[in-house]
Structure 1
Amino acid sequence: MPRLFTGLEIPSDVALDLANMRGGISGARWIDVENYHLTLRFIGDIDAAAARDVFTTLAQIRRRPFTVTLETLDSFGGGRPRAIVAKAKPAQPLVELQAEQERLMRRIGIPPEPRKFTPHVTLARLRDASTTAVAAYLSARGFFFSRRFEATRFVLFSARASTGGGPYVVEAAYPLG
Structure 2
Amino acid sequence: MIRLFAAIPLPEAMRERLSRLNGGVPGARWVAPENMHITLRFIGEVDEGRAQDIDAALDTVTAQPFPLTLSGLGNFGRGHRAHTLWVGVEKNPALHHLRDKVESAVVRAGLPAEERKYSPHITLARLKDTNSAKLGRFLEENGMFQDGPIMVERFCLYESILGRSGPVYHEVRSYPLGGWSPGGDEAGEE
TM-score by length of 1: 0.94
Instruction: Provide the C-alpha distance between the structure 2 equivalents of 1:89 and 1:110, rounded to a whole number of angstroms.
Output: 29
Where does structure 1 lack aligned partners over 5 or more consecutive residues?
Answer: none
- 1:6-25 equivalence runs, <5 A: 6-25=6-25
Contact preservation (8 Å) 2:74, 2:143: no
SS in 2 for 1:63: coil
Structure 2 unaligned blocks of 5 or more: 179-190
Paired residue type of 1:151:
V
Over the matched positions of the two proteins, sequence identity in percent amounts to 36
Q: CA deviation at 1:162?
A: 5.0
SS in 2 for 1:17: helix
Runs of 4 or more consecutive aligned structure 1 residues displaced over 3 Å after TM superposition: 161-165
Structure 2 Cα separation of the partners of residues 116 and 164 of structure 1 = 29
Q: Do the aligned partners of 1:125 and 1:164 also contact (CA within 8 Å) in 2?
A: no
Q: Aligned residue for 1:72?
A: 72
Can you list the C-alpha shifts for 1:53-89, whole angstroms capped at 9, x where unaligned? 0011100011111111111111111231111111112
Q: Is the 8 A contact 2:82 2:130 kept in 1?
A: yes
**Cα 1:154/1:17, change in 2 over 3 Å:** same
How far, CA to CA, are the matches of 2:5 and 2:142 in structure 1? 30
Matched ranges for 1:18-33 at <5 A: 18-33=18-33
Q: 2:153 corresponds to which letter in structure 1?
A: T
**What do you get for the CA RMSD once the two structures are aligned?**
1.5
Q: How far has the Cα of 1:164 moved from its partner?
A: 8.5
Superposition deviation, residue 114 in structure 1: 2.6
Structure 1 residue 165: Cα displacement: 5.4
Deviations 1:36-62 (A, max 9, x none): 000000111001110000011100011
For the residue of structure 2 that corresponds to 1:113, the secondary structure is coil
Residue in 1 that maps onto 2:184: none
Q: Deviations over 1:119-155 (max 9, x none)?
A: 0000100011122121111112244234321111000
For residues 1-177 of structure 1, the aligned pairs below 5 Å read: 1-79=1-79, 80-161=81-162, 166-177=167-178
* Equivalent residues of 1:85, 1:122 under 8 A apart: yes
